[in-house]
C-alpha cells in the first residue's frame, strides 16, 4: 500500500507498540451538542505524511512543513467558515513551528484562532525579563528558566482545590495557573495550568491569556471526544478496515536505513505512477466517505438529544442518558431505511434509487428480448 511508513507513538498504554507501520492521517472535527453530551463531527481527514514523492509526480508543490503545521493550517482553513475558533490539540502539537504558523495566520486578520493543548512533563518555560540593566547590549528576551514539573512541589501551597464536572463525572481537582514565556527563540507568552486529579499530574497550556484556568481544564477534557470519534469510525463504519494496494508499488522494507530511497522514490514508470496515484485516491476517498457517514449519524444524534432515547430503538442493558449512540442509529437505519425513503418519494436520494432501478430493469428486459 502506498504511503505506509514507520510511525512512533508515545503512549502510556502498554497494549500499544511504540513503533508500527501504517498510514498517518490528520483528522479535524468540530464539537457539537451540549456540555453533557458532546460529539466530534469529522470535517476533514487526509494523509499527512509518506506521499511526498507521489505529490511530485503530479507536479504539485511539495510542502516541507511537518504534519503538526499542516494540522494548524487545516484548522485555520475550517475557521474561515466557522469564524473565531478554539483548537484542542494533544500534547504532541505544542511545538515552536506550530505556534509560529498560528501567529502568522492570525496576523492575516481574517479570523482569530487560539490553541489549548497539553505540555510534556519535562516542559521548561521562562519568566518575563526584568528591567534592562544599564550598559551596552541587546535587552534580554527571557528571564529565569522555570521547570514546570517542579512547581507541583515548590508551589504546593498556592494550588487551589475545587469540584468540577469532567468527563461526565464530578471530580475534585487541584490547580495552579501561571503565565510564562515558552519556545526557544520564540518566547511566546502562554498560560500554563498545573492540574492534579486522582493522583495524576498534568500540565495544560493555552495561547489565550483571557481564558480562566477552570475553562482551560474543562475545554481540554472535551478533546476526549476526538478519540471517541476515531473509535466509532473504526468499530461502526469500518473506516480503517481498508486494503487498497497496487502491484505496481514496490514492497516496503522493514529494515530500510535512513537516507535510502523510499519505495515511492524507486518508481519511475509513468504507468505505474498513475496506478499508484489511483490507489492513494481510493484510500482517501474511502476515509472521506466514512467521515461523511459518521458526520450524518452524529448530526442526527445531536439534533434529537432529549427527544429520543436509545431504549426506544433497541434493547440496551444500560441505555445512554444523553444522545443516541452511533451504533443505535445504524441499527435503526438498517431496519427502516427503505421504509423511510418510500415515505419521502420526492427526496433527492429516493429519486436517484428509483432511476437506477429503472435503468437496471430496462437492461434486463433488453437482455431477455
Both 118 and 217 in one domain: the answer is yes
Both 261 and 328 in one domain: the answer is no
- What is the structure's pLDDT at 290? 94
Looking at 171, 203, 222, which one is the last position of a domain? 222
Both 24 and 43 in one domain: the answer is yes
Q: pLDDT tens, 80-115?
A: 999 999 999 988 889 999 999 999 999 987 899 999
* 316 within some domain: no
Q: pLDDT tens, 240-267?
A: 999 999 999 998 888 888 888 888 888 9
Angle, helix 270-303 to helix 326-343, in steps of 10 degrees: 90
pLDDT exceeding 90 applies to what percent of the chain? 48
* 135 within some domain: no
For residues 226-252, one letter each, b for 16 or more C-beta atoms within 10 angstroms of the residue's C-beta and e for the rest, the string is beebbebbeebbebeeeeeebebbeee
Q: Measured between alpha carbons, how far is 331 from 186 in angstroms, rounded to an integer?
A: 52
Residue 48: partners with Cβ closer than 8 Å, 6 or more residues away: 24, 25, 26, 67, 70, 71
Both 176 and 218 in one domain: the answer is yes
| Owning domain of residue 125 | 113-129+140-222
**How many residues does the structure list for the chain?**
369
Q: Measured between alpha carbons, how far is 221 from 127 in angstroms, rounded to an integer?
A: 27
Q: Which one, of 85, 92, 45, 100, lies nearest residue 68 by Cα? A: 92
Both 209 and 125 in one domain: the answer is yes
Q: pLDDT tens, 34-90?
A: 777 888 999 988 888 888 888 788 665 445 678 889 899 999 999 999 999 999 998
Amino acid at each position: 500500500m502506498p504511503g505506509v511508513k514507520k510511525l512512533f507513538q508515545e503512549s502510556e498504554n502498554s497494549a500499544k507498540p511504540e513503533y508500527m507501520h501504517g498510514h498517518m492521517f490528520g483528522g479535524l472535527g468540530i464539537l457539537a451538542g451540549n456540555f453533557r453530551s458532546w460529539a466530534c463531527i469529522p470535517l476533514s481527514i487526509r494523509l499527512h505524511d509518506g506521499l511526498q514523492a507521489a505529490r511530485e509526480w503530479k507536479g504539485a508543490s511539495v510542502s516541507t512543513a511537518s504534519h503538526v503545521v499542516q494540522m494548524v493550517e487545516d484548522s485555520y482553513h475550517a475557521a474561515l467558515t466557522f469564524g473565531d475558533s478554539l483548537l484542542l490539540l494533544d500534547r504532541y502539537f505544542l511545538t515552536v513551528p506550530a505556534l509560529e504558523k498560528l501567529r502568522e495566520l492570525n496576523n492575516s486578520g481574517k479570523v482569530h484562532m487560539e490553541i489549548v493543548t497539553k505540555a510534556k512533563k519535562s516542559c521548561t518555560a521562562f519568566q518575563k525579563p526584568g528591567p534592562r540593566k544599564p550598559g551596552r547590549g541587546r535587552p534580554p528576551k527571557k528571564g529565569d528558566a522555570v521547570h514546570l514539573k517542579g512547581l507541583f512541589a515548590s508551589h504546593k501551597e498556592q494550588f487551589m482545590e475545587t469540584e468540577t464536572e469532567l468527563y461526565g463525572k464530578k471530580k475534585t481537582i487541584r490547580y495552579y495557573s501561571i503565565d510564562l514565556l515558552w519556545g526557544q527563540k520564540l518566547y511566546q507568552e502562554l498560560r500554563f495550568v498545573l492540574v492534579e486529579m486522582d493522583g495524576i499530574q498534568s500540565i495544560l497550556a493555552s495561547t489565550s491569556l483571557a481564558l480562566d484556568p477552570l475553562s482551560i481544564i474543562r475545554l481540554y477534557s472535551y478533546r476526549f471526544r476526538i478519540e471517541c470519534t476515531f473509535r466509532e469510525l473504526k468499530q461502526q463504519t469500518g473506516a480503517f478496515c481498508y486494503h487498497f494496494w497496487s502491484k505496481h508499488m514496490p514492497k516496503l522494507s522493514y529494515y530500510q536505513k535512513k537516507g535510502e530511497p523510499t519505495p515511492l522514490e524507486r518508481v519511475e514508470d509513468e504507468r505505474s505512477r498513475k496506478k499508484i496515484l489511483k490507489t492513494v485516491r481510493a484510500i482517501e476517498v474511502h476515509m472521506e466517505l466514512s467521515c461523511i457517514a459518521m458526520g450524518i449519524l452524529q448530526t442526527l444524534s445531536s439534533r434529537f438529544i432529549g427527544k429520543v432515547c436509545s431504549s426506544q430503538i433497541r434493547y440496551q442493558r444500560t441505555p445512554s442518558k444523553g444522545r443516541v449512540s452511533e451504533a443505535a442509529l445504524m441499527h435503526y437505519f438498517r431496519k427502516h431505511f427503505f421504509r423511510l425513503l418510500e415515505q419521502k418519494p420526492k427526496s433527492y436520494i429516493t429519486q436517484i434509487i428509483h432511476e437506477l432501478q429503472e435503468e437496471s430493469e430496462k437492461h434486463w428486459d433488453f437482455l431477455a428480448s
